[in-house]
Chains A and B, each alone.
Chain A
Amino acid sequence: MHSTNERQNPAFYALLAALVVMSIAPIYLMLSTSFRLNVDVMSETSSLLFFPTLQNYETVLCNVLWYQLDHVDYCDPSFGRALGNSLIIALISTGITLVTGCMAAYALVRFRFMGRGTMSMTTLMMRMVPPAVLLVPVFGIWTFQYQLDGTYAGIIMVYVAMNLPFVIWILQSFIVQIPIQLEEAARIDGANAFQVFFLIVLPVIKPGLAAASIFTFRIAWNEFLIANALLDRNTRTVPVTIVNSLTEYDINWGVIMATGMLLAIPPIIFTFVASKQIITGMTAGAVKG
């Protein structure tokens, strides 16, 4: 097939370069804007020459910084608090989804039992439910029946339920690939179902767990609509604060881009650390659905 030192057409590299620039340019623009003061953003001439500053980030994080700021007249604590809320909500819901999801996926793959068909069918169907569809019922139920509106527990419950179908679906495709002999050998050595699961299966599907946890974290970290409907001033997440600050007439682009950057950083880090797992997870679904 291809020899390793095969020469490629220069146009081919030009195309590659153009694609890379196209995918990164908007992110780079956001990053560079977040280092500019609003005067620099607004000025007609400035394009490449500006004095980078961390002031926007300081403004955003004013209440969690340990030093006093001179350029901030009034410190708005909403963002720092939202960042904490987002972290707590995303981490806990990811944890719960992962534990319950891989147990369910294991049961669906390895056991034959009554209701298995229904369960796996339901899971598949639930994957398509858009958050907008859950808005009305979740608002009604969580406010009037569960009385969980404005609490961490309430929103975490929604995110876990929303993410479970997808996580179960991804993990199934990883568990199917484990050679059954591995589990049988453990059984013969006297391990019960739970020991087999925790000591044999879980360590083998680590890449799948990584992919699933990144997808779950991403949804919980980025979700806006339901968070906006359920959470109150004290429990608000970052996406909600961003949208709220956008409704103002005069947008301070530097500050808003710094906020956006802070929201974007965790997913970007995950992407660079675990891109291989993410791609495996993505393809596992479609290439063998």
Chain B
Amino acid sequence: MSTNSMSRMTPYMFLAPAAGFMIVGLLYPIGYMIYASFLDWNPSQLIGEADFIGLRNYTSLLGDESFRESLTVTLKFSSIVVVTEMLIGVGLALLLDRNIRGISVLRTIFILPMMIAPIVVGLMWRYMYHPSVGVFNRILKDWGFEPIPWLSDSGWALASIIIADIWQWTPFIFILALAALQSLPRSALEASRIDGASGWQQIIHIKLPLMLPVLIVTGLLRLIDSFKVLEVILVMTNGGPGLSTEIMSLRISRTASEFRELGVAAAMSNYLLLLLLTLTIIMFVYNKIIDAREASVRQAVEEG
């Protein structure tokens, strides 16, 4: 082999192992799933023995009450969670953007909830929500209030899992927002201060607009991740009571393992994937637009 063709092969040699794993472990399974979603297939059959039923899985899902219910629950959960976490996280970042001694210790403490296993987070909250030994109801009782059926009432259950998710993921938004704030150009802030802008005016007219690109990406990342939440809810409520907390991921896993309808579960996975794909594409396009705009600004500066 000549050195020239050798160097042309180099990038592929670097890529090959990762590409191999991703093809065997991700791309092929996803293709397989798309194929399986057109089948009437249960786990005791080989995939070759399953009947091809076209789009029937998809159409029957659209008419399925419990699927629509779980779609609503998922959308409700994700939107409430993302909006609340963005508000609290960004608000805290604006409040705490000062020179604090020991900020690194604080940040370490704030990322703990994200690093701990979701299963364990679910356990902790299930324990705290426990009707008799849980800390919330004990406090309520001590103060003379009625205990709240946190996880056993279908109205409260969704609120309870939302609270747990806010506890776990607000720090993520907070840390990213704080990083964005601290990388803002100091000159713009100084200039506005000299012009006599108040703290609020600075936040609304300077800080938030400058942070916006990062905030939008952060929000989208969090939104995508909120569709992946599964274990916390599985441990806390297992989708119940009724279907009140059964998000899509949970519904997929139950359809596959309890109802043993792999084809339907695959079709459901595809719906979820389409939803996430749309979000990812939005994020991607948004990033491209921002990059393009930055590039044109830079060019204008260089020319002028």
Contacts and interface: CB of A to CB of B under 8 A. Distances in A.
A15 B18 CA distance: 46
Contacts of A19: 92, 106, 110
A202 interface: no
* A interface residue count range (under 10 / 10 to 19 / 20 to 34 / 35 or more): 35 or more
Contacts of B280: 124-125, 127-128
B36 A104 contact: no
Interface stretch (B9-17, B153-161, B196-204): B9-17
User: Which of B14, B17, B100 has the most chain A CB within a 10 Å cutoff?
Assistant: B14
A141 interface: yes
Interface in B67-124: 92, 95-96, 98-100, 104, 106-113, 115-121, 123-124
A267 interface: yes
Contacts of A158: 25
A161 B107 contact: no
B18 A27 contact: no
B192 interface: no
Interface string B172-193: 1001100110010010000000
Interface stretch (A58-66, A70-78, A271-279): A271-279
A143 to B, nearest CB: 8
B262 to A, nearest CB: 5
B119 A138 contact: no
A267 B36 contact: no
A286 B217 contact: yes
Interface stretch (B143-151, B224-232, B296-304): B224-232
Interface stretch (A48-56, A176-184, A238-246): A238-246
Contacts of B272: 130, 132-133
A263 to B, nearest CB: 5
Contacts of B8: 113
A104 B172 CA distance: 27
* B interface residue count range (under 10 / 10 to 19 / 20 to 34 / 35 or more): 35 or more
A23 B14 contact: no
A246 B22 CA distance: 34
A221 B27 CA distance: 23
A129 B14 contact: no
B186 A1 contact: yes
A191 interface: no
A137 B22 contact: no
Interface string A141-185: 100100000000000011011101100100000000000000000
Contacts of A242: 119-120, 123, 235
A104 B15 contact: yes
A133 B269 contact: yes
B125 to A, nearest CB: 7
B226 to A, nearest CB: 10
Contacts of B107: 275, 279
Interface in A207-257: 218, 221-222, 224-225, 229, 239, 242-243, 246, 253, 256-257
A57 interface: no
B119 A26 contact: no
Contacts of A8: 98, 100
User: Which of A229, A253, A282 has the most chain B CB within a 10 Å cutoff?
Assistant: A282
Interface in B1-54: 7-8, 10-12, 14-15, 17-19, 21-22, 24-30, 32-33, 36, 43, 46-47
A283 B175 contact: yes
A253 B26 contact: no
A200 interface: no
26 contacts: A1-B186, A15-B96, A23-B171, A26-B128, A29-B127, A30-B120, A96-B21, A104-B14, A125-B280, A128-B280, A130-B230, A132-B228, A132-B250, A133-B269, A134-B33, A135-B269, A161-B22, A161-B24, A221-B117, A222-B119, A224-B230, A239-B119, A242-B119, A242-B120, A260-B124, A279-B179
Interface of A: 1-2, 4, 6, 8, 12, 15-16, 19-20, 22-24, 26-27, 29-30, 33, 41-42, 47, 96, 99-101, 103-104, 106-108, 111, 113, 116, 119, 122-141, 144, 157-158, 160-162, 164-165, 168, 193, 197, 218, 221-222, 224-225, 229, 239, 242-243, 246, 253, 256-257, 260, 263-264, 267-268, 270-272, 275-276, 278-279, 282-283, 285-287, 289
Interface of B: 7-8, 10-12, 14-15, 17-19, 21-22, 24-30, 32-33, 36, 43, 46-47, 92, 95-96, 98-100, 104, 106-113, 115-121, 123-125, 127-128, 132-133, 135, 138, 167, 171-172, 175-176, 179-180, 183, 186, 214, 217-218, 221, 224, 227-228, 230-231, 234-235, 248-250, 252-253, 256-257, 262, 265-266, 269, 272-273, 276-277, 279-280, 283-284, 287
Given A136-B252, A157-B21, A225-B253, 5 more contacts: A225-B249, A239-B119, A286-B214, A287-B183, A289-B287
